[in-house]
Chains A and B, each alone.
Chain A
Amino acid sequence: MSFANFLDYHHFPVYSIMVLFLGAFLIVLFGKNKFMRNLLAFLAVSISLACIVALVKPVMLDGEIIAYWMGNRAVAGGYAIGIALEVDALSLFFALLISTAVFVSGIYSLQYMEHDNNVPEYYTLFLMLSGGVIGLVLSGDIFNMFIMVEILTFAAVALTAFRNKAHGALEAAFKYLVVGCIGSTCILVGIIMLYAQAHTLNFAQLSAVIPGNMNNATKLAFALLFVGFGTKAFIVPFHPLAADAHGAAPASISVLISGVLTKSGIYGLIRLTYFLFQTMNLGTFQFLLVFIGSVSMFVCVTMALAQHDFKRLLAFHSISQIGYVLAAVGLCTGLGFSAGLYHAMNHTLFKGLLFLCAGAVLHQTGTTNLDELGGLSKKMPWTTGLFLVGAFSISGLPPFNGFASKWMVYQAAYQKASETGNIGFLFVTLIALVTSVLTLASFVKVSQSVFFGRLPAKYENVKEVKGGMIFAMCLFAILCVVTGLFPSAVTKYLTEPAARAVFSVVNYIDAAMGTGYAASAMGENLPVVASFNFNELGYWSPISWLLILCIALLAVTIVAVSGKYDKVSESSEIADSKYDLFFGGEKSVYSQVGGGDLFWGFKHNWRHYFSFMHDLHSGIVNDYSLWAIVALAIVTLFIQIVL
């Protein structure tokens, strides 16, 4: 076997997983040395990213589906015996955004974690987590998916509890572990029930066999798997876990939990509903996905409005954005898929950026409590600027990326509503738009309470964070802007191939099992996909808009500056009452509207809802487990009835 053989791109999927696990192992051995540890971690994440990026051309652009059999144990006698990795455009899309997030988070960790104890363990777990997620999305074997889910759950739980002195870290980890294990148990039982029916664990073969042989047992398995992957995606009713875990974990891990773990759950749900059970033409099932998505969107954004903690607020937003993704994906139109995947990507980028900013604030001030912070923009200008980029992106202000994808989500929902004549989808558009403006509201709250407003005296000596952390944040910020400015390129080269992959189950099956297998195994059950299109209802060209805005801004600035706009009176060091804030004539003291008390006019009208929600999120692990079981029961009933 020549060396060139190793560089064949068919091996890259397995490399990208192996290198992370190998790095984790080596860091345990050699991690005592700081340089060695950083080098190993950096190498692992960058090689993994490189392998994934190298796959873009064959898989995304040329449309090849890579089926990689471990140890060359390929299909024999119509049965998949070996363990497979199967990479189609959908897997690669998720792998791409996961490895990007892992890469940036890794760079950020180098400086962010330097004051912590047990850093080698941190990197071990970090790499295990990353390897688990990439393994999950690249795997073509359903039991392997389960193993990877377990690996990433354990790593995430351990990392949540990593700073076990932090407020609520242990508690969050325990809750996450309990409900996560309920989810994992569901997944495992579902897998076994499928195995009992089909006697195979290969995803492609299951996809070919199961849809034609639906019975009560497979339906129950479907419900179990759905709830299991739902807990991994933290959709409602599992969102309190996400909030707890994000708030307690180190910021670099919050990036992974929000940007990566939730994506793996969404990936699982897509694979489950559209490949394994092929519910494309089932209106009622789409209703379930869209309903859960819309509820997640709205409930979590209102929960976020009521939060007092920076990271906890971001955590609730994270689930709110996942709601967008799920609702868009559930629409099951070409545009809907494209929009949902686009938004999933954007969510990873802007939420990663925001968590890194929160981490920077925590790193420098030691707190993320919105009621204590304020006025940091004078001390941390870079962080402020980058935070604003993230905040504008997530609240969907043009021309940042959040707008492009949200705009597509609205269109997809409205188009679907109009095509099917179902007024329910219309309300999805409305909820999505209202959620978007509520998102803006809560980020206005954060910018007022953390970065602008008055600077409390105890933060007079706060400094900007170090260059490495700023660099990591800049990477995300640049990606946010770029993906926002070139929406047509992103949809054409990334999301549309991935969306097409969802609609070509047959290719997925044939790539693994041999050409013609799908047709022979499924017979007349071959999925008939209604024609799908990516046509949009309106138009939006961010580049031209930005160009015009720049010209306009330039013109205004020139006029303003020539009119001595920048000739201002500023305070010198001498205290002068002229430069005090106007305070009704009083000597101004530190006073700021607390983060929780902003938007009183809104909250007052919704006070019953907010108090109800507050009581509901009781923080008791038994309640959260009960929600999970109730969700399982409801989904089971629903699926038994409609499928």
Chain B
Amino acid sequence: MMTIVLTALQYLGYILIFPGFLFCFVIGMLLCGIDRKIVARMQKRVGPPVLQPFYDFFKLCGKETIIPAAASKTTFLAAPLVGLAALVVLQLFIPIHGFSAFSGMADIIVILYLLLIPAMAAMLGGAASGSPYAGIGLSREMVTIIACELPLVMVLLAVGKVVGGDAVTFSFSKIANYQLANGSLITHASLIPAAIAMLLIIPGETGNHPFDTAEAETEICEGLLAEYSGAPLAVYKLTHCVKVLTLTSFFAALFLGGIGTGIVVVDALILVAICIVLTIVSISFVHAITARLKIEQVFKFYWTIVTGLALISLVLAWYGL
């Protein structure tokens, strides 16, 4: 009896503290804060404090939540919560150097689909608000997802092929074990284009510059979030931050596995360091040096250049180079 309770508590701890909510909340916000600071420094500004996302979050919690008369209340309020919960659950499946809170439950293709749920929640929430700006935002968000999906799939298939050989695999644990035994996959020559493609996918999936057409505040009034205010908006902002963490740690699990000590705390810190570096490289640098693209340019970019990179990787992996 005692052991059951302890096990339950342990898993509850996984969900709520590490690598669940608390970890996601703190690290995700931190990554976004660092991103804003780095971008500011690159533009020769002082920039907001690193804790700025926390301030934004708590401020929004204290604001009034207005439900527009045209909105469907339940969907409008529930969508942000569902999106956040789904994203945090997704984070639980991503292994941290061999440590995986819930191993054997979801493989990389499942992760691909689980990533759609927060986006879907945001889209339904936006659609439920009834705003015409949300309609345009939804359209653009969906096109961005379509754009990212193809190269992302190719990257995953290439990784599965390299790890599994003839017996291709989608399994996370096999990928992790392979990297423990053979070193990080990024050292694998055929996967370098895939890693670059993945780095370019991260800002698209999170909706960061220059792929933030869906939330363009200057042209379509924040798109999907146009009618959100107060706490639901805070949840959306948090979801965005967690998404940055999820995608960077997904990258780490795919390409930078095998770096670690075996002690969970140390590994977590290493993961945080890796995520910070990845955020700076793939989000901040790209943000600072580009202007926002038009939506058809986003689509074209992903389906030509990024897909091309991923395809090179896939073909190389296929022929075992």
Contact = CB atoms under 8 A, between A and B. Distances in A.
Direct contact of A and B (CB under 8 A): yes
Interface of A: 375, 377-378, 381, 384, 388, 392, 396-398, 403, 407, 410-411, 414-415, 417-419, 423, 426, 429-430, 433-434, 437-438, 440-441, 444-445, 447-448, 452-455, 537-541, 544-545, 548-549, 551-553, 555-557, 560, 563-571, 578-584, 588, 591-593, 597-602, 604-605
Interface string B5-25: 000000010011000110000
A322 to B, nearest CB: 21
18 contacts: A396-B113, A397-B117, A407-B113, A426-B318, A437-B116, A438-B146, A453-B135, A454-B70, A538-B109, A539-B106, A540-B105, A540-B110, A544-B105, A548-B89, A552-B15, A552-B88, A568-B66, A604-B296
Contacts of A553: 81-82, 85
Contacts of A407: 109-110, 113
Contact of B85 (A441, A544, A549): A549
B132 A552 contact: no
Interface string B214-227: 00000001000011
Contact of B92 (A538, A548, A601): A548
Contacts of B136: 593
B71 to A, nearest CB: 8
Interface string B275-318: 00000000000000000001110111001000000000011001
A600 B117 CA distance: 22
Given A415-B168, A440-B142, 7 more contacts: A398-B117, A440-B116, A538-B109, A544-B102, A565-B65, A571-B69, A591-B132
A455 B129 CA distance: 11
B149 interface: yes
B61 interface: yes
Of B88, B117, B146, the most chain A CB neighbours within 10 A belong to: B146
A417 B161 CA distance: 11
User: Across chains A and B, which 3 residue pairs bring their CB atoms closest together, nearest first?
Assistant: A538-B107, A538-B170, A601-B295
Contact of B65 (A434, A569, A591): A569
A396 B149 CA distance: 14
Given A414-B168, A565-B232, A440 B138 contact: no
A568 B170 CA distance: 44
A599 B169 contact: no
B72 A377 contact: yes
Contacts, number: 245
A398 B114 contact: yes
B58 to A, nearest CB: 10
Nearest to B154: A430
B128 A423 contact: no
A208 B147 CA distance: 50
B296 A539 contact: no
A569 B166 CA distance: 59
B77 interface: yes
Contacts of B145: 437, 440-441
Nearest to B161: A418
Of B130, B131, B133, the most chain A CB neighbours within 10 A belong to: B130
B30 interface: no
Given A398-B117, A541-B105, A600 B139 contact: yes
B143 A599 contact: yes
Interface stretch (B119-127, B179-187, B196-204): B119-127
B120 A539 contact: no
Contact of B135 (A423, A433, A582, A598): A598
Of A384, A397, A452, the most chain B CB neighbours within 10 A belong to: A452
A440 B124 CA distance: 12
Of A377, A426, A445, A552, the most chain B CB neighbours within 10 A belong to: A552
Given A403-B113, A452-B124, A537-B169, A592 B65 contact: no
A581 B146 CA distance: 29
A581 B132 contact: yes
B153 interface: yes
B167 interface: yes
